[in-house]
Amino acid sequence: TTLLEPLRLERRPPLPRRARHARHDWMLVGGLVLVYALLQSAFVHQPPLSDQMHYFVDAATLPHISEPPHQTLRIGLTIPVWLMIQIFDYSEAAYYAVPYLSAVGLVTATYWLGRLLDSRATGVIAGVLVFANPFVLDDGSQLLPDIPAAALFTGAITLLMFRTARGWVYYAGERR
């Protein structure tokens, strides 16, 4: 045995496909996203003349780098904002799209993680706790890297747990 042996998850056979139950999960996710959108609409802030506008202007002027250059190098934020500017032009829709979609991704990934670890009720409670968090509501309309980073991390953990639960993850030194 190794030091990490207790941390390994139990291998289970692949779960049977249940289309009806999957539809219920997606309806719950849609309900969580709808409630988040309604709640977030009450907490929309005007873009402050701070780092948020630097990210937006840097994304609009890519590939030219402005000062300070470290903000332009946050490509996980500037490239999605640049893409939204290409879609919506230089507008408020482009400014608010990335924070909103990131928070939606965070709520969705949190629901699925709770669902994988325990039950639908756990997923719903976890999703509600995430979008009702004052920090998420406050930053949900700000163009900052915090919410996108949390959404990507939570999504990666959820994907790893999903693949592990279905036996699609192999450990180092393990035969297939």
Looking at every residue in the chain, the average pLDDT score rounds to 82
Tokens of 170: 């192999």
How many other C-beta atoms are found inside a 10 Å radius of the C-beta of residue 25?
A: 15
Q: What is the mean pLDDT of residues 17-34?
A: 76
**Residue 11: its pLDDT value, please?**
56
Kindly report, residue by residue over 69-83, the tens digit of the pLDDT.
766 677 788 889 999
Q: How far apart are the C-alpha atoms of 75 and 113, rounded to whole Å? A: 27
DSSP 136-173: HHHHTTS--SHHHHHHHHHHHHHHHHHHHHTT----TT
